[in-house]
Amino acid sequence: MTRRLADAVERSAARSVARGAASWSLATVSLVHGDGTVDITTATGPVERVRRLRSYASPQVGDRVQVAKSPSGNWLVEGATAAGSDGWQPLSLRSGFTASTTSGDAPPACRRTSDGLIALSGIVVPTGLSTSASVVIADLPAGIQPEYRGACVVVGDGLTGRLYINTSGSISARLLSGTNPSWLSLDGAQCR
């Protein structure tokens, strides 16, 4: 075999491998189905009913995702790309509730974790909390509503309270003990 023929065979083999190799790209989730699949929009057009990895537990319409395509044409959503910075988004506080201005206190915020949980953080200065009724204190950003309502115990200065993260996206609180707290911590509250 001549060197020229050997080079041609090698180039042909490399092209065949490149054509048959799996590839990945970015896409946007356009529809979430209840059966573990999502519809995506890729640079080459829409793709329906794409399976997702179990680790991408809480897909949302609009998520920017990494997708893989096998040589046989099957698609797989591997997961969402990270949002800017660390993914924390500010909570929209309701009237009567403000963020703590004490140095070192984190502002009220939320994020969706890599395993699909919605986590809260920060210190809220409340007014009007009591043991008799729950009061809506804040709202989650659009697109970060939980699948199920969560109930968590939270603490403040001289009190304990119950925090509800509702499927509507509202966050409500009710005191279990104490009165007139000057602060309420959201750290550690989470749900899915």
Give the chain's domains with CATH numbers. 18-80 (2.40.50.140), 89-191 (2.60.40.2460)
Task: Write the pLDDT tens digit of every residue in 139-172.
Answer: 999 878 898 999 999 998 888 899 999 999 999 9
Q: Which three-class secondary structure string do you get for the chain?
A: CCHHHHHHHHHHHHHHHHHHCCEEEEEEEEEECCCCEEEEEECCEEEEEEEECCCCCCCCCCCEEEEEECCCCCEEEEEECCCCCCCCEECEECCCCEECCCCCCCCCEEEECCCCCEEEECEEECCCCCCCCCEEEEECCCCCCCCCCEEEEEEECCEEEEEEECCCCEEEEEEEECCCCCCEECCCCEEC
Q: pTM above the 0.85 mark?
A: no
Task: Write the pLDDT tens digit of every residue in 28-37.
Answer: 999 999 898 9
